[in-house]
Structure 1
Amino acid sequence: MKILAHIYEAHKKEFLCKIDSGNKTVSASAKGTVLKGNQLVAGDKVLLEKNGDDYQIVDLVERTNEIFRMNIRERKKRITAANCDLVIIATSVSRPLYKQGVIDRFATRSFQWDLPATVVFNKMDEFEDDFDIDFEMRRFENLGIECFEVSAEYPETSSRFGRGSFKDLQKKLLGTQSIILGQSGVGKSKLVTALSDKKVRLASYEIGKGGKGVHTTSWSEMIDCGIFRIIDSPGIRSFSLDDISPEELINFFPDLLPITLTCQFNDCQHESTTKGCAFYRGDIDSRTADIIGSRL
Structure 2
Amino acid sequence: MARGQIRKALSGFYYIEQDGNLIQCRARGIFRNRGESPLVGDFVEYSYDGESDGSVDKIHARKNELVRPPIANIDQALLVFSAKEPDFNTILLDRFLVVLESFHVQPIIVLTKLDLLNNEEKQALGQYVADYEAMGYEVILTFKDDPALLSTLGHYLKGKTSVLAGQSGVGKSTLLNTLIPSLELKTAHISKSLGRGKHTTRHVELIDIGEGLLADTPGFSSFDFDTIEKEELSACLPEFQRISENCKFRGCLHIKEPKCAVKEAVESGEIRTYRYEHYQQFLQEIIDRKPRY
Q: What is aligned with 1:74?
A: none
28-37 vs 100-109, which moves further: 28-37
Matched position secondary structure for 2:80: strand
Tell me if 1:30 matches 2:27.
yes
Q: What is aligned with 1:230?
A: 214
* CA RMSD, 1 decimal: 3.7
1:25-174 to 2 correspondences below 5 Å: 25-37=22-34, 38-51=36-49, 53-68=51-66, 80-128=70-118, 130=121, 132-151=124-143, 154-156=145-147, 166-174=150-158
Long gaps (5+) in structure 2: 191-196, 280-293
Structure number with the higher helix fraction is 2
1:211-226 to 2 correspondences below 5 Å: 215-217=199-201, 220-225=204-209
Long gaps (5+) in structure 1: 70-77, 158-164, 207-212
Regions of 4+ moved over 6 Å: 263-267
Distance 1:57 1:154, change over 3 A: farther
Give the drift of 1:230. 0.8
Structure number with the higher strand fraction is 1
TM-score of the pair, normalised by structure 1: 0.72
The CA distance in 2 between the partners of 1:47 and 1:203, in whole Å, is 32
Q: What is aligned with 2:177?
A: 193
Tell me if 1:184 matches 2:199.
no
Q: What is aligned with 2:233?
A: 249
Q: Deviations over 1:47-106 (max 9, x none)?
A: 33335643223333424511336xxxxxxxx99221222222122223333322222122
Read off the aligned partner of 1:135 and give its amino acid letter: Q
Matched position secondary structure for 1:256: helix
Q: Deviations over 1:208-237 (max 9, x none)?
A: xxxxx9742275432232622112455544
The CA distance in 1 between the partners of 2:174 and 2:202, in whole Å, is 18
Read off the aligned partner of 1:144 and give its amino acid letter: G
